Structure 1
């Protein structure tokens, strides 16, 4: 509903703390499902700052592929 989108625009995003929590719990693989990967680098950097090995990959790339991708 509209309230969901208003909250997403107005409230703070807790991306780094959530990724760090997942890394601390042992998560080592992250897949970014979006039209173009923009957060995979931030996930990798969060893993590095926690001294953990993580892999972050994007599922799609803008202007590449189609159904076969």
Structure 2
């Protein structure tokens, strides 16, 4: 899936992205899906799409610090 497959989704950049345009992750949330893309690659960037419930569970675990990177 690419960003062109999801034109109607409202994309927003992570607040952790730096001001110089590097390390930018964008997220688009829909009722049943969540999508993530790398904004450095432009609008044609590949998009990772997840069920909204799975993405929500992932974010909760990240906030708790339960994921090792």
- TM-score, normalising length: structure 1: 0.22
Compare the two structures and name the one with the higher helix fraction.
Answer: 1
Q: In terms of Rg, which structure is larger?
A: 1
Pick 1 or 2: higher relative contact order, CA cutoff 8 A, min separation 6.
1
- TM-score, normalising length: structure 2: 0.22
